[in-house]
């Protein structure tokens, strides 16, 4: 029974984190100047791996479901 409750709490915390993340990104994107500043600040990490690969595009849909595909249950 404890494992079921622990799993439910973990799932709730996971979904809450990604919901809050999506809300924060949406607020940032809503202000073009702020979004441009964010992109400028994070551009330094685009080539951090120095593996020659092009950076992936930022997902538009930051929902918990979008990040759960590889999450073990």
Q: How confident is the prediction for the chain on average, in pLDDT?
A: 80
| Of the candidates 1, 2, 11, the residue with the CA atom closest to the CA atom of residue 73 | 11
Residue boundaries of the structural domains of the chain: 1-38+61-66
More confident residue, 1 or 26: 26
CA atoms within 13 A on the CB side of 42: 10
Assess whether pLDDT exceeds 90 at residue 59.
no
Assess whether pLDDT exceeds 80 at residue 7.
yes
**Cα–Cα distance list, 46 to 13, 55, 69, 71 (Å):** 29, 6, 24, 25
Q: What is the pLDDT of residues 14-46, one digit of tens each?
A: 999 999 998 999 999 999 999 999 888 888 877
Share of the chain above pLDDT 70, in %: 67
């Amino acid at each position: 029974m404890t494992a079921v409750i622990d799993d439910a709490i973990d799932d709730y915390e996971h979904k809450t984190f990604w919901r809050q993340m999506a809300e924060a990104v949406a607020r940032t994107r809503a202000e073009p100047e702020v979004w441009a500043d964010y992109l400028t600040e994070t551009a330094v990490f685009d080539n951090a791996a120095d593996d020659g690969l092009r950076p992936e595009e930022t997902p538009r849909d930051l929902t918990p479901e979008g990040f759960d595909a590889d999450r073990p249950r």
